[in-house]
Amino acid sequence: MDRKPLHDILTPGDGPRRSKRSATSQTQVREVERERKKRGGGIFQNWKIWGGILLGVALFGFLLSFFFGDARISVHPKQATTFVNGTFSAQKNGGDRKLSYQTISLERTETKEVRATGEEDVEERASGKIVVFNSFSSDSQRLIRNTRFQTPEGLVYRIRDSISVPGFTREDGEIAPGSLEVTVYADEPGEEYNIGLADFKLPGFKDAGLKEQYEDFYARSKTSMTGGFIGVRKSVEEGELARARAELQETLRNDLRNAAQSEKPESFYLFEESIYYTFEASQRESEGDNAFVEEKGTLHGILFEKEALARFIAQETLASYDGGRVEILNPSELSVRIEIGETERPWTLNELPVSLEGEIRLVWNYDEAQLKEDLAGKDKAALPTILSGYQSIERAEVVVRPFWAQAFPENPEEISVSRILD
């Protein structure tokens, strides 16, 4: 039997179709491989980019730390709790180791309109403020109550309480007179004593033949002299007048107390128990059926310098007190009373018996600015040695940034100090 050629057996198209499928499969494999490699390379590229960014941020932070490094130190100062209960002699403008005080005086005036129901004959004396000067001696000079002060025209005014005028001091070889402000009252009632600012001499020295004192003691007005009157004035029923005065005095007490607390030096205490008030009533001009009641209030306060008072309490109650600067942490717990009679005027005296009572917390103070100066530029390891020079500090903790820095910043302003009270 004759064999047919191979191409006679295969149908047309069988060979070429198989060949096409094989080529297509290989092409797809190659494309998949290229895509896989492409994706793999992209991930690698992304990691390189992010790694570069993170490295740059870290480097920037490292460099920034050199410009913005600082130090923070927490200081634990010495503290002590003590109890004081006793009466001590206080000196006006006393020394460092004594219980010392100063005085403050403020005046305010309030007026209230009330109904007038009658008329009365009135005689009132003028009054005003003067400043008394002592150029005679470096010692204080006591002037008794009713001491006279006379104007060049012969008008006489008197003080109602004894006073002590401080002695003079020397400044650059020149005498600076001691001075004291005081209220004086006209020797006689009447409007002729209502005068403006004037100079005054003390005729009592001249009468006693004390020529030098007469020449070196003098006074000058601080305010005009007002309130002198003789005549008929509308009167106010006694009960109405008493109610009006009580209201005015309460207003004056509050105003004067607030003013004294705001005007006193920040470095002084003004305790409620060491505040005294005096009041003077007068009746001004009337209108129609009404009269104007005027009340003048004066606050006299005994001031205690804060650090001096704390130091005095420490030296009186703590056997281990080293003489350092101390501060009272709870002044509201301290009772301060002036132990004198009700009729005495403590603001006129140079020595007072002062009662102190309370459980007091004391803290030792330190010079923060000097501590910063001592730490600036020093190695952190030098902290204990530096603190050994501060007896008022028990211990301290410090944080220096950046964390790897081994020394405090060169600039003291880059060192912050906080006080930690245990």
184-239 pLDDT, tens per residue?
999 999 999 999 999 999 999 999 999 999 999 999 999 999 889 998 887 788 88
Neighbours of 67 (CB within 10 A): 6
For residue 374, name the pLDDT band (cuts at 50, 70, 90): very high
For residue 13, name the pLDDT band (cuts at 50, 70, 90): very low
Question: Do residues 358 and 83 lie in contact, with contact meaning Cβ atoms separated by under 8 Å?
Answer: yes
User: pLDDT digit string (tens) for 375-406?
Assistant: 999 999 999 999 999 999 999 999 998 888 88
Q: How far apart, in Å, are the Cα atoms of 405 and each of 66, 68, 71, 96, 213?
A: 9, 12, 10, 44, 71
What pLDDT is recorded for position 215?
Answer: 93
What pLDDT is recorded for position 395?
Answer: 93
Q: What is the pTM of this model?
A: 0.68
User: pLDDT digit string (tens) for 144-167?
Assistant: 999 999 999 999 999 998 888 999
Mean pLDDT of 262-291: 85
Task: Mark out the alpha helices in 110-159 (DSSP H runs).
Answer: none
User: pLDDT digit string (tens) for 15-38?
Assistant: 444 444 455 556 665 665 666 555
Q: How far apart, in Å, are the Cα atoms of 320 and each of 359, 364, 409?
A: 17, 13, 36
Q: Could you report how far apart the first and last alpha carbons of the chain are, in Å?
A: 122
Q: What is the mean pLDDT of the chain?
A: 85
Among 40-49, 70-79, 297-306, the least confident range: 40-49
Which residues are CB-contacts of 204 (< 8 A; sequence separation ≥ 6)? 147, 148
3-state secondary structure of 76: strand
